[in-house]
Structure 1
């Protein structure tokens, strides 16, 4: 099945052009052939009439006192011939026939374009026109036949010259029509190209819908897409409303639980407050997942976002004299919502800030057509056997540094979920600085967001 509209139009136009030009070729060839053959037939009929008009009866025989004056009739193989067949007498012939007698009375004589074919004085075929006539009336009537002929090569050469020119003309016509068909196809598909550009702007968040763009034939499709976008916007508003309701619904019970926990013994109070905080963070994570599933994407400059995140987190590590390094090409951009990418990288940088001893490095590069973002530190790292567990919600490393809590393990899980929602991958490894290195790999441009079930 041909999936390309451009190819379909090209094939259709090619078939139509070939059929039309074939019909034109056959029609013109037949018309010209009939016209040329008719002209020769008329000339031969005139020659027959001229010869017949000169026939006389002398001494009981048919004679021709004066032959037609055409010079071609006097030269041997001159190209024009006549012959007068008399009953019981030797045929009278033009000098151009020399000693050749036209034998056109044979039943099996070949025909060509309505003429009988015979052998000429030079051995080449000639085409002849024969007419039986009567001179006188009654008992004195004399029967005779006049044959006029011409060289077949004249007719064939005329037709060959015409066909050669008509072939060139039709070939030039085919080229012009093919160019016109290609231009028509390009112009006809141009509105679809514009619709694709409009779709890219809608996808990036620059436009809300397709408006009334496009020709009349695609307006039903555009209208349906606009309805889908409107339904999507409605779903977004409803999701945000439900998220807001959920946030307000949890806020009060969690506050009450936190206040009640203050009355518990210290050990129990710390556990209760930790659990309340864990519920709050998990609720925030579910709200974030719901937002990711419906929100539009926009293009984000990676270097600008990375520098902003580092500037926010640098004061957190100022007391420990941690050095931050940012190595990102300013031209690298991703079709990822800035809030999503900020949360994804923010969690990784916050995790690095928590565990780093003296250095943290944020870098990004394009490798094999994909954007690779890495966050590395010189902290204790994560053992290879614990890395998969560290990326799960609630998972944490056993390699906690002195003075640091192990944490609830949501940061890496949230970043992994955000990356997966955009078709990216996240992996943990050993940093060149000695600690943990987290690598995010996006397609160039970011690709299409994959909606996720927030639950």
Structure 2
């Protein structure tokens, strides 16, 4: 058995070229090999190779060089009958590994560009796809700040069901708020007549000489009026839906008006007032809330001060800071925290119901104003600081 022509790759004819073939004739023990093997043979394992099956091996070749071998058993027809041939082809493993490495190095830049293009496309798709949600977020923020009452209806079709659902919810909430306002107003008007009758009864008892009973009835009536006013203020704060709370309200005008009013009271006319408020200073708050909040704080300062009250406003970056300082006895930090709780009175000897500072706390929480207290400079008196970030 012999080959009638050379193979296409000339390396099969070059000794120790790294490319080899070998054919073993099973019946006769004859071995044919490429000239590149020279005097060596491929040391194939004696495995059971079925006709047509292909096996792959990693063997040592000439000079101990690692080879990758593929072998297959084929049936070769001849005049003497079919012969079983074991055909093996081998190549140096280093050549395959070099080719694999060169291919990887050649394709790596293209894969990198492809990966960068895919990432850029994904980012662009996410940016474009999320654009309606970013706009929706801005519209929700506008509703929350009071700039508008409902979401615009010109959003893409994909988010319109959500916009419609949110607008329906806002409409239902507005109806509930209006209902709560009406009920609170009805309650206030309904209590006016009984309170008027109660006051008249106290005056009648006083004219009849029953001073003790008259004092008790008038105290009860005053307490009820204060409670009603407190609840009306809280109802206005918690149910506001008119969109005014997010607009800037000048501080100087309100502070000047309150100081002029307090100077006309017996307690306030003896106080030395120091007011330093820039004309441009403002809080984003409803005007009635601002009046209620500052009125309670200034009344409290007048109640406790010895002789002097200072009101100062300054800008700290994006924050507006308002400070009210009195030279009264002051209070420890733990008492200052309790003072802003509803109904807490730290000194029962002073007039009041313990509701004013709790209203201040409610107004501050509703308008994003941080309220803190600290001892006044010098350790005597109390400093109340209100801070709102624009």
Question: Is the 1:426–1:440 contact (alpha carbons within 8 Å) kept by the matching residues of 2?
Answer: yes
**What is the match of residue 310 of structure 1?**
256
What is the correspondence of 1:258-407 to structure 2 with a 5 Å cutoff?
A: 264-265=206-207, 271=215, 276-296=221-241, 298-299=245-246, 301=248, 304-314=250-260, 316-317=262-263, 320=269, 322-327=271-276, 336-353=285-302, 359-363=308-312, 373-378=322-327, 381=329, 407=351
C-alpha distance in 1 between matches for 2:57 and 2:344: 105
What is the correspondence of 1:10-409 to structure 2 with a 5 Å cutoff?
A: 52-53=3-4, 71-81=10-20, 94-101=34-41, 107-108=46-47, 114=55, 120-124=61-65, 125=67, 127=69, 133=76, 137=79, 149=89, 151-153=91-93, 154-163=95-104, 165=106, 169-170=110-111, 172-212=113-153, 219-255=160-196, 264-265=206-207, 271=215, 276-296=221-241, 298-299=245-246, 301=248, 304-314=250-260, 316-317=262-263, 320=269, 322-327=271-276, 336-353=285-302, 359-363=308-312, 373-378=322-327, 381=329, 407=351, 409=352
Question: Is the 1:335–1:445 contact (alpha carbons within 8 Å) kept by the matching residues of 2?
Answer: no
Provide closer, same or farther for how the CA distance between residues 310 and 415 of structure 1 changes in structure 2, counting only shifts above 3 A.
Answer: farther
**What is the match of residue 357 of structure 2?**
415
Question: Is the 1:301–1:333 contact (alpha carbons within 8 Å) kept by the matching residues of 2?
Answer: yes
C-alpha distance in 1 between matches for 2:279 and 2:54: 82
Question: Is the 2:325–2:381 contact (alpha carbons within 8 Å) kept by the matching residues of 1?
Answer: yes
Q: 1:289, CA displacement in angstroms?
A: 2.2
C-alpha distance in 1 between matches for 2:117 and 2:111: 10
Question: Is the 1:232–1:294 contact (alpha carbons within 8 Å) kept by the matching residues of 2?
Answer: no
Which whole-Å deviations, capped at 9, do the CAs of 1:342-364 have from their partners, x for residues lacking one? 20211222344567675321235
**Greater radius of gyration (CA):** 1
C-alpha distance in 2 between matches for 1:142 and 1:428: 107
C-alpha distance in 1 between matches for 2:20 and 2:376: 106
C-alpha distance in 2 between matches for 1:282 and 1:83: 108
C-alpha distance in 1 between matches for 2:85 and 2:96: 24
C-alpha distance in 2 between matches for 1:79 and 1:415: 95
* Aligned Cα root-mean-square deviation (Å): 5.2
Q: Which consecutive unaligned segments of at least 5 residues does structure 1 have?
A: 1-47, 55-66, 400-405, 447-455
Q: 1:419, CA displacement in angstroms?
A: 0.5
Provide closer, same or farther for how the CA distance between residues 129 and 282 of structure 1 changes in structure 2, counting only shifts above 3 A.
Answer: closer
Which structure is higher in helix share? 1
Question: Is the 1:419–1:440 contact (alpha carbons within 8 Å) kept by the matching residues of 2?
Answer: no
Q: Please say if 1:437 is aligned against 2:382.
A: yes
The 3-state SS of whatever aligns with 1:151 is: strand
Provide closer, same or farther for how the CA distance between residues 74 and 300 of structure 1 changes in structure 2, counting only shifts above 3 A.
Answer: closer
The 3-state SS of whatever aligns with 1:53 is: coil
Question: Is the 1:126–1:152 contact (alpha carbons within 8 Å) kept by the matching residues of 2?
Answer: yes
Question: Is the 2:254–2:291 contact (alpha carbons within 8 Å) kept by the matching residues of 1?
Answer: no
Question: Is the 1:118–1:128 contact (alpha carbons within 8 Å) kept by the matching residues of 2?
Answer: no
TM-score (norm 1): 0.59
Give the length in aligned residue pairs. 369
Of residues 196-205 and 180-189 in structure 1, the stretch that sits farther from structure 2 once superposed is: 180-189
C-alpha distance in 2 between matches for 1:84 and 1:394: 106
Provide closer, same or farther for how the CA distance between residues 315 and 134 of structure 1 changes in structure 2, counting only shifts above 3 A.
Answer: closer
The 3-state SS of whatever aligns with 2:355 is: helix
Provide closer, same or farther for how the CA distance between residues 422 and 192 of structure 1 changes in structure 2, counting only shifts above 3 A.
Answer: farther
**What is the match of residue 58 of structure 1?**
none
C-alpha distance in 2 between matches for 1:52 and 1:376: 112
Question: Is the 1:362–1:376 contact (alpha carbons within 8 Å) kept by the matching residues of 2?
Answer: yes
The 3-state SS of whatever aligns with 1:208 is: coil
Q: 1:441, CA displacement in angstroms?
A: 5.5
TM-score (norm 2): 0.67
C-alpha distance in 2 between matches for 1:89 and 1:419: 105
Q: 1:201, CA displacement in angstroms?
A: 1.6
Q: 1:172, CA displacement in angstroms?
A: 4.9
The 3-state SS of whatever aligns with 1:375 is: strand
